[in-house]
Amino acid sequence: EAGVAQSPRYKIIEKRQSVAFWCNPISGHATLYWYQQILGQGPKLLIQFQNNGVVDDSQLPKDRFSAERLKGVDSTLKIQPAKLEDSAVYLCASSLGTSGLNEQYFGPGTRLTVT
Amino acid sequence: DQQVKQNSPSLSVQEGRISILNCDYTNSMFDYFLWYKKYPAEGPTFLISISSIKDKNEDGRFTVFLNKSAKHLSLHIVPSQPGDSAVYFCAARTTGNTPLVFGKGTRLSVIA
């Protein structure tokens, strides 16, 4: 079974530029999550999708971050414009069902550096 | 306000001995707890979980203990192996499909 795929793996941009990350979840997984992990911290949920609907985006800075999950499969996360404090690893995860007890499978992450 | 705390940033243990990783939480509504393991340049991998109705869950070399009155859980790895060297994250959630809240992680080094 293929795991969660993410691209790019690394990205360096200047502040005020835009960037987009892509995630392909495990086939058949209904729920998709985007996390932000700042160095020295644990992952923090940004947004959770169930199929192509948003379940929770309460911690997403909506003035600069946006995410979509078209057709309930792949997802993109965009930052526009980026700030220095957005430097972090962005992790995508997916789970099979909608129950909170379903295990989340994480991708390798995209490391973003904003200079 | 950090709801899940891992107060030890790092831990070194000799191969074959027991590793004990600790986690404290403040939210009494948490009812499901998980441990994730993370190698460099990889995403976290689920290790073991425990529901609040239990006080112990065991899976091979890994055992998680939950003390609800103290709002404390621990992960025991015995015997520790060099391949266990990684960052371990404690996570918790409330009832339902709610977000996981992660601690900052503990870096475990198992020395051969």
Q: Please tell me the predicted confidence (pLDDT) of residue A1.
A: 64
CATH of A15-95, one of 3.40.50.720, 2.40.340.10, 2.40.170.20, 2.60.40.10: 2.60.40.10
Mean pLDDT across A44-65: 93
Which residues of A touch chain B, with CB atoms under 8 Å apart?
4, 31, 40-45, 48, 50, 55-56, 59, 91, 93, 98-101, 103-109
Nearest C-alpha neighbor of B21 from the set B94, B103, B101 = B103
B102 and A44 in contact by Cβ < 8 A? yes
For B107, which residue in chain A has the nearest alpha carbon? Answer: A40
Kindly list the domain boundaries of chain A, sorted by start residue: 15-95
CB B96 within 8 Å of CB A100? yes
Q: For residue range A91-106, list pLDDT tens digits in order.
A: 999 998 766 567 889 9
Report whether CATH 2.30.30.100 matches the domain B4-111.
no
pLDDT at B50 over 80: yes
Give the residue extent of every domain in chain B: 4-111
- The whole-number average pLDDT for the span B64-91 is 97
Terminal Cα distance for chain B, rounded: 38
Q: Which amino acid is at A10?
A: Y
- Kindly determine whether residue A100 and residue B95, on different chains, have CB atoms separated by under 8 Å: yes
In the predicted structure, residue B1 carries a pLDDT above the cut 80? no
Q: What is the dihedral of CA B73, B76, B82, B88, to 10 degrees?
A: -10
